[in-house]
């Protein structure tokens, strides 16, 4: 392979990444599902044991449905675990969830009756939704720059 062929192949990869960056746009409801799943996970943890398995199952079902819908609508599913700069967004998402869990375990005695718990749930839902939108923007920028 000569230098021209190698450069041509690299250019084709860059063009493909740029096209993929344009396709990687999800509607707000798709990002909100991430927030709902995170809030549901926290809810499942604080509920009595009899409810923990069904809530976890519901979250897994939501993951399956999102994957299926993404593949049907966009022809692919892009996992949140990508190389590039998206890792720091995932780290913040993890920290947000852990902070919500620790705050709930430390300050809330009866979560279902506590306005503080429902406030934490709302922050987790909105924060996770916003982080999903941010993840998309970072991922698109990585693709456009050839870093993904």
Question: What pLDDT digit, counting tens, does each position of 113-141 carry?
Answer: 999 999 999 999 999 999 999 999 998 88
Integer-rounded Cα Rg, in Å, for the chain is 19
Cα atoms found within 13 Å of the Cα of residue 140, Cβ hemisphere only: 13
pLDDT range class, residue 144, cuts 50, 70, 90: confident
- Please state, in angstroms and rounded to a whole number, the distance separating the CA atoms of residues 108 and 102: 10
pLDDT digits (tens, 9 = 90+) for 5-60: 766 655 556 666 566 666 678 889 999 999 999 999 999 999 999 999 999 999 99
Q: Which residues contact 97 (CB under 8 A, 6 or more apart)?
A: 38, 41, 42, 124, 128
Closest CA to 67 of 58, 55, 57, 79: 79
Q: Give the whole-angstrom CA distance, residue 121 versus residue 54.
A: 19
pTM for this prediction: 0.85
The structure tokens listed for 69 are: 């819908």
Mean pLDDT of 88-109: 97
């Amino acid at each position: 392979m000569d230098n021209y062929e190698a450069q041509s192949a690299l250019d084709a990869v860059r063009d493909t990444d740029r096209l993929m960056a344009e396709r990687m746009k999800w509607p707000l409801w798709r990002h909100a599902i991430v927030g709902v799943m995170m809030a549901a996970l926290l809810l499942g943890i604080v509920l009595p044991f009899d409810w923990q398995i069904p809530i976890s199952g519901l979250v897994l079902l939501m993951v399956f449905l999102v994957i299926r819908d993404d593949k049907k609508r966009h022809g692919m599913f892009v996992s949140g675990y990508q190389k590039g700069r998206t890792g720091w967004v995932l780290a913040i998402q993890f920290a947000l969830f852990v902070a919500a869990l620790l705050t709930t375990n430390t300050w809330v005695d009866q979560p279902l009756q506590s306005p503080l718990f429902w406030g934490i749930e709302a922050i987790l839902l909105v924060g996770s939704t916003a982080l999903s939108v941010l993840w998309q923007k970072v991922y698109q920028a990585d693709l456009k720059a050839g870093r993904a």
